[in-house]
Amino acid sequence: MRYKIIDNSLFIDNRKNFLNKVDKNSVSVFVSNDFMPTNADETLHFVQNTNLLYLTGIDQEDTFLILAPNFPDKKMREILFIKETSKEIAIWEGNKLTKEEARKISGIETVMWNDNFKNVLDLILAQSKSIYLEKNEHIRSNTKIETPQERFINEIKRSYPTYEIQRSYPILSELRMIKNKTEIDLIQKACNITEKGFRRVLSYIEPNIWEYDIEAEFIHEFIKNRSKGFAYQPIIASGINACSLHYNTNNSLCVSGDLILMDVAAEYSNYKSDMTRTVPVNGKFTKRQLEIYNAVLNVKNKATNILRPSISVNEYHKEVGKIMESELIRIKLIDKHDVKKQNPKNPVYKKYFMHGTSHHLGLDVHDVGNFYVNLSPGNVFTVEPGIYIREENLGVRLEDNILIGENQNHNLMENIPILPEEIEDIMNS
């Protein structure tokens, strides 16, 4: 792995916190993700199940975890199963984790090859009353294929029909919303790498380069700093492209006089950052561009101030909508008459700001979490308002990553340039 090994106390504590919330005499089982096929014998880059990562730190396929906190044999209360390596596997696929390496990463003493998994599970289930299983229950999940976790749930139902099945996801979702110091440091590291990439492209951007040229500069800087790469598919959107929220073909020419909206960030040790900045292709904002830019910046700053403990995310989004409405009136994109006659279910500000302002951030870009509970210290949120005016070929979005604190928030991207004059100075230096 490229990143430095993480202190395994993170994963030991994560397992302890999880087990404090499960029923007695239960067993919890976690399954790694698969390699996703493309065509012929090709696969996509492996992406680990983030709940398994959260509990073990193991970033390798064909991995299983069994947690049975009350099993009579104490050595069998935490068992990690990994793929057995061999000289042939090393030749074709590269080195896999040894048992000792897996112990060091996870803090789990009992590590077995995964061909023992079925027999050991039978042994432990004989002393258990219920089984905790997990699947992707994120409210924005759009998976249309059977995941390894769903496949395993179906296997358990067929093989062990008399056992009560419990859900791990709600427990892990609650726990993962609160980041500890190690996790915050890892997200900060991802933000710092993102800053390096952004400063690099600010010095690189000029008229008549291509969006993919900018993408290439980002990935160069990210990988050079021990990141695996982009935290998500990057958006490099110039001109009218910025008005398509999920534009990511990144294949247009950047023309003088246009803005470039860049929603792009690095990961580090599987923890994600999530940044958006909007800059002028020629290094100088027009008066109109600056008017829209400052309106978005005002909304972002005010939104960050109200993102505090005791407010729920849904309440917060309503408050941000009012702030955006006020800014749009100020810059004369809407007026009070429009607001007065609006449909409350479809506020008029959504014509120019149609997406949410914030989401949880962590091992996933849209991290797990409950939008209906009040915010707590240790939550990490994005703040990303935008204004999109298709008739002017103009879109501006600004995004930072905010750690919620007891008394004040901390912007993990506070060192990434965002003030328009600072951006112009760097681009023209």
- Closest-CA residue to 230 (of 190, 257, 170): 190
d(CA 227, CA 271): 10
Domain ranges for the chain, please list them: 9-176, 181-427
* Residue partners of 45: CB distance under 8 A and separation at least 6: none
- Closest-CA residue to 170 (of 129, 143, 135): 135
In this predicted structure, what is the pLDDT of residue 313?
87
297-356 pLDDT, tens digit per residue, is: 999 999 999 999 989 888 999 999 999 999 999 999 999 999 999 998 899 999 999 999
User: Residue 383: phi, psi to the nearest 5?
Assistant: -130, 115
Reported as half-sphere exposure (CB side, CA atoms, 13 A), residue 167 has a value of 9
Would you call 255 helix, strand, or coil by DSSP? coil
Cα separation of the two ends of the chain: 37
Structure tokens at 72: 């009579």
For 181-427, the fitting CATH number among 3.40.50.850, 3.90.230.10, 3.30.1280.10, 3.90.79.10 is 3.90.230.10
34-82 pLDDT, tens digit per residue, is: 888 788 778 888 899 999 999 999 999 999 999 999 999 999 999 999 9
- Closest-CA residue to 327 (of 313, 344, 348): 348
In this predicted structure, what is the pLDDT of residue 138?
77
* Residue partners of 145: CB distance under 8 A and separation at least 6: none
User: For strand 64-67 and strand 26-31, is the pairing parallel, antiparallel, or unpaired?
Assistant: antiparallel
* Residue partners of 383: CB distance under 8 A and separation at least 6: 300, 303, 304, 307, 357, 358, 399, 400, 402
The CATH number given to 9-176 is 3.40.350.10
Q: Model pTM?
A: 0.95
